[in-house]
Structure 1
Amino acid sequence: MSELPRLYADHLARDRRRSVHTVRAYEATATRLCGFLTQHWGEAIDRAALAKADTADLRAFLAQRRGEGLTNASAARELSAVRGFLAFATGEGTTPRLKGPRVKKGVPRPISPDEAVALADDVADDASEPWIGARDLAVLLLLYGAGLRVAEALSLTGAVLPLGATLSVTGKRDKTRIVPLLPQVREAVEAYVALSPYGTARDAPIFRGAKGGPLSPRLVRRAVQGARVRLSLPDRTTPHALRHSFATHLLGRGADLRALQELLGHASLSSTQVYTQVDAAHLLDVYRNAHPRA
């Protein structure tokens, strides 16, 4: 098998500063494409071979992948990874032109402020030990009160302590942004730090698992899922929904779209504009439910 997928992964991590998950997924796609073309053409795959890949070859590859059960959204991501790999291997602007499947853009589904607070409190109350409850409360309040992604919250180290009025966060592609910290959020983190049995070394993660290792996002999702069931909240109530709620509620209170883009760490304003659809949908729901002529 060609070593090009590995070189592509190195390029994504080093030069494009893509996340570990993106690098892993794109390398897997590149490996699948090379394997498919090896069988399809009956020859070894190198840069020269990839340069002759045409639209029909890519369509055949995607057809095979769709036969394995890929949805439109997954097929679109697969095609994006293929284009990036071919551009890397053969030179920019030489990739075959192939229209991807149509993907309906989903609108973020936030939860109400009362539900967000109830969720965080329930997760904390259900914890096996006080310090774990304080930890979970602090993490969830960082998602809802500061708009952090789960990975961003869990990657915070002792270097951010002591906390002030703002917090420096490193997000996707190592982009750093400054977010304000509400007093309630700061107090929750400080309460956890005071109870944590593992200390707060500057180069170590603040949020630890029960055995002292870095807290896993999977444990956060599991805790939220349990609270969602106990509180009879909708299935859309996930840790990431708290970040959606942060954005939607700020926009509903008149926040500027550009300022919201900075707070969320979006590279493109179009990623932030989706929340205007959420707010409009909420207003329509209020109208339909409350207006006597609706």
Structure 2
Amino acid sequence: MNHYKELSEAFTEYLRLEKNASPYTVKYYKDDLETFFVFLNKEHIDRLEKVDFQIVRLFLTTLYNQKLSRRSVSRKISSLRTFYRFLERTGKVDGNPFIHLTLPKAAKPIPGFLYMEELEKLFEVNDLSDPVGQRNQAIIETLYATGVRVSECQGLLLEDIDFTIGTMLIRGKGRKERYIPFGRFAEDSLQTYINDGREKLLAKGKTSTNSVFLNARGNPLTARGFRLVLNKIVEKAALTVHVHPHKLRHTFATHMLNEGADLRTVQELLGHENLSSTQVYTHVTKDRLRSVYMNSHPRASDK
């Protein structure tokens, strides 16, 4: 087991330093490796170079017997394929037994999004005379205005926001940076919060911080804090739909496409490396496309 542990640690170090992988990504890889190592121990396989295609097929069967989803199985196999690629590169093994393993592609779930009527309710429930209410309004407006991930919103610093041209610097996955514009509603809520509510929250803290979003004690708001904030807003708005921070990102992308934004622009704004990641949002705009087609094409209808 020590042999496996050493290689696992070397691999996760490689992910952190060379691939700039996030802590969440590193954790998923480590969990996938642990699952594989437990399997190898049960099969009395003490060296990774002994793993061949037959053992890989047996591992795959074991995963399916655990009733894991196709998506979970695919992720684990992908993690191990990357792990063995690393072992090949460092001379620990001569081949990659996962390289020829093909998996059925899992159907991509259609992202859920909010309609404007539901969004309006979220924007109307915060007490704008209260520092926490101002902060919550700024969070909702920022998430919807920019489509940023929660981790990106959480990492936002005061100096990242340029009110003179209405853009903010976002640090995304793999330390990649991008600039995103924001509109008047987000600007108004951010200005109100930063110049009033944030100052009052900061006064409660023991140390100074440049983080934009603070908790009630004046410290930077955590990812868990963002989820709690959103849950409270949804509760106040009496919405019956489940709303998580990522749903506002889905909503941003869907509304942009529905209003005519091109896919490449939305890809750039979302910080997607591949266009295929953005294309999933086109599924939820088909009604809109049909409506535009029926109203625009000369021979689409008998109007």
TM-score scaled by length of structure 1: 0.84
- In structure 2, do the counterparts of structure 1 residues 62 and 285 end up closer, same or farther at CA, with 3 Å as the change threshold? farther
Task: Give the secondary structure class of the aligned counterpart of 2:58.
Answer: helix
- In structure 2, do the counterparts of structure 1 residues 100 and 116 end up closer, same or farther at CA, with 3 Å as the change threshold? same
Larger Cα Rg: Structure 1 or Structure 2?
2
Aligned length: 282
- Partner residue, 1:174: 175
Deviations 1:167-212 (A, max 9, x none): 1101111111111011211221121112122179996422122223
Q: Superposition pairs for residues 265-284 of structure 1, below 5 Å?
A: 265-282=271-288
Deviates more, 1:85-94 or 1:234-243: 85-94
Distance between the aligned counterparts of 1:254 and 1:41, measured in 2? 58
Contact 2:202 2:208 in 1 (8 A): no
Q: CA deviation at 1:162?
A: 5.4
Task: Give the secondary structure class of the aligned counterpart of 1:41.
Answer: coil
Counterpart of 1:62 (choices 60, 63, 68) is 60
- Partner residue, 2:300: none
Distance between the aligned counterparts of 2:117 and 2:223, measured in 1? 23
Q: Superposition pairs for residues 75-94 of structure 1, below 5 Å?
A: 75-91=73-89, 94=96
Distance between the aligned counterparts of 2:289 and 2:162, measured in 1? 40
Q: Superposition pairs for residues 35-114 of structure 1, below 5 Å?
A: 35-43=38-46, 49-91=47-89, 94-96=96-98, 97-114=100-117
Contact 1:72 1:103 in 2 (8 A): yes
TM-score scaled by length of structure 2: 0.82
Q: CA deviation at 1:156?
A: 0.6
- Partner residue, 1:246: 252
Q: Superposition pairs for residues 174-213 of structure 1, below 5 Å?
A: 174-194=175-195, 195-196=197-198, 197-198=201-202, 204-213=210-219
Contact 1:145 1:181 in 2 (8 A): yes
- In structure 2, do the counterparts of structure 1 residues 177 and 212 end up closer, same or farther at CA, with 3 Å as the change threshold? same
Contact 1:87 1:95 in 2 (8 A): no
- In structure 2, do the counterparts of structure 1 residues 56 and 212 end up closer, same or farther at CA, with 3 Å as the change threshold? farther
Q: CA deviation at 1:52?
A: 3.4
Unmatched tracts of structure 2, length 5 or more: 294-303
Contact 1:51 1:90 in 2 (8 A): no
Distance between the aligned counterparts of 2:19 and 2:176, measured in 1? 12
Contact 2:213 2:221 in 1 (8 A): yes
Task: Give the secondary structure class of the aligned counterpart of 2:96.
Answer: coil
Root mean square deviation of aligned Cα: 3.0
Deviations 1:107-150 (A, max 9, x none): 1121112322322433x34x9x9111111111111111111111
Q: CA deviation at 1:235?
A: 3.4
Unmatched tracts of structure 1, length 5 or more: 44-48, 288-294
- In structure 2, do the counterparts of structure 1 residues 72 and 285 end up closer, same or farther at CA, with 3 Å as the change threshold? farther
Q: CA deviation at 1:214?
A: 2.4
Deviations 1:30-82 (A, max 9, x none): 12212321331342xxxxx3233223222332333344442222111111111
- In structure 2, do the counterparts of structure 1 residues 67 and 234 end up closer, same or farther at CA, with 3 Å as the change threshold? farther
Q: CA deviation at 1:279?
A: 0.7
Distance between the aligned counterparts of 1:273 and 1:29, measured in 2? 28
Q: Percent identity?
A: 32
Distance between the aligned counterparts of 1:144 and 1:257, measured in 2? 18
- In structure 2, do the counterparts of structure 1 residues 203 and 268 end up closer, same or farther at CA, with 3 Å as the change threshold? farther
Q: Superposition pairs for residues 127-138 of structure 1, below 5 Å?
A: 130-138=130-138
Deviations 1:214-257 (A, max 9, x none): 21222322333344355453534322111111111111111121
